[in-house]
Amino acid sequence: MPPALPQDPEPPSAAWSGRRADARRNHERVIAAAIEVFAERGLEATVPEVAARAGVGKATVYRSYPTKADLIAAVARHQVIWLTERVAAAAEESDAFTALRELLGDMSERLAGDRVLAAVLPTDDQWIEGLTEQFSRIVDAARRQGRLRSDATIQDIRILLGGSSRALIEQGIHDPAQWRRYANLVLNALRP
């Protein structure tokens, strides 16, 4: 099972640190509820659903996140923090191919239950821009070790994994083991 999402990664701004304790608690509940609701329902989830799950009114959500897009961006930041930490850990491994296989498997398991990450990761360069260098180092090392095709690139992995993710989503497959299986098939397609 993939690691749990971190708590709200943004340090409290001056505006938040000056707010009442109950306002800060509401903000934390909104973020936690948004993570759950968007993970379950994807980008179709609504602000009223998030508010209901958090046990607050819509106005409370809109005070912190004026638009649904703002709320989605806050949720996506949580997932990207997890992904950044996971890629960094994989980059430290000496066996690059095994590290890449485990990384893609963990990512796939996470994608199986997280509709926001599944929607954002394959399509939005803004969220993965900082990961490309580390991810490329892993792919390059696996190539040098003779475990990946000499022409395999991070773009190949991104397209293949993104395509399988879309197909799994469209078919309503949420079983993490199935997602991990397809991640392994993607990687095996790039073996020499």
Tokens of 143: 């190539």
**Contacts of 136 by beta carbon, 8 Å cutoff, 6+ apart:** 153, 154
| Separation between Cα atoms, residue 95 and residue 99, nearest integer Å | 6
| Separation between Cα atoms, residue 115 and residue 118, nearest integer Å | 5
For the chain, list residues with pLDDT below 50: 1-16
Q: What's the confidence (pLDDT) of residue 13?
A: 43
Q: What's the confidence (pLDDT) of residue 55?
A: 94
Q: Burial code of 161-178, b = ≥16 C-beta within 10 A, e = fewer?
A: bbebbeebbeeeeeebee
CA 139 distance to own-chain centroid:
19
Nearest to 50 by CA among 127, 77, 65: 65
Termini Cα distance of the chain:
30
| Separation between Cα atoms, residue 183 and residue 109, nearest integer Å | 9
Q: What's the confidence (pLDDT) of residue 127?
A: 53
| Separation between Cα atoms, residue 7 and residue 149, nearest integer Å | 39
The radius of gyration of the chain from alpha carbons, rounded to an integer in Å, stands at 18
Structural contact between residues 89 and 2, judged by C-beta atoms closer than 8 angstroms: no
